[in-house]
Copies of this chain bind each other. A is one copy, B any other.
Amino acid sequence: MDKDISSAVIRRLPRYLRYLEELMNEGFERISSSELSKRMNVTASQIRQDLNNFGGFGTQGYGYNVDHLHDEIAKILGLNTVHPVIIIGAGNLGQAITRYIRSGNMSFDIIGLFDIDRKLSNKSVAGRKIMMYEEMPAFLSKNRVDIAALTIPREDALRVASDVIRNGVKAIWNFTHTDIPVPDDVVVENVHLSDSLMQLSYNLAVRTCSGST
- Taking Cβ atoms with an 8 Å cutoff, the residues of A that contact B are 1, 3, 10-11, 13-15, 17-18, 41, 76-79, 83, 91-93, 95-97, 99-101, 104, 106-108, 146-147, 170-171, 173, 177-179, 181, 184-185, 187, 189-210, 212-213
Within the oligomer, what is the number of copies of this chain?
Answer: 2
Contacts of A212 in B (CB 8 A): 185
Q: Find A191's partner among B18, B193, B204, B210 (CB 8 Å cutoff).
A: B193
Contacts of A170 in B (CB 8 A): 204, 207
Assembled-state Cα–Cα distance A182/B62 (Å): 32
Q: Given A191-B191, A193-B100, A194-B106: A3 and B210 within 8 A (CB)?
A: yes
Q: Given A78-B201, A107-B201, A181-B41: A93 and B83 within 8 A (CB)?
A: no
Do B213 and A77 touch across chains, with their CB atoms under 8 A apart?
A: no
Assembled-state Cα–Cα distance A101/B201 (Å): 14
Assembled-state Cα–Cα distance A107/B17 (Å): 35
Do B79 and A201 touch across chains, with their CB atoms under 8 A apart?
A: yes
Do A83 and B187 touch across chains, with their CB atoms under 8 A apart?
A: no
Known: A14-B199, A17-B198, A100-B193. 10 other contacts (CB 8 A): A1-B206, A10-B199, A78-B201, A78-B202, A78-B204, A104-B177, A170-B207, A184-B213, A189-B196, A189-B200
Assembled-state Cα–Cα distance A171/B206 (Å): 12
Assembled-state Cα–Cα distance A53/B196 (Å): 20
Contacts of A197 in B (CB 8 A): 101, 106, 108, 147, 173, 189
Do B83 and A92 touch across chains, with their CB atoms under 8 A apart?
A: no
Q: Find A147's partner among B1, B11, B200 (CB 8 Å cutoff).
A: B200
Q: Find A18's partner among B93, B108, B178, B200 (CB 8 Å cutoff).
A: B178
Assembled-state Cα–Cα distance A96/B93 (Å): 5
Contacts of A106 in B (CB 8 A): 194, 197
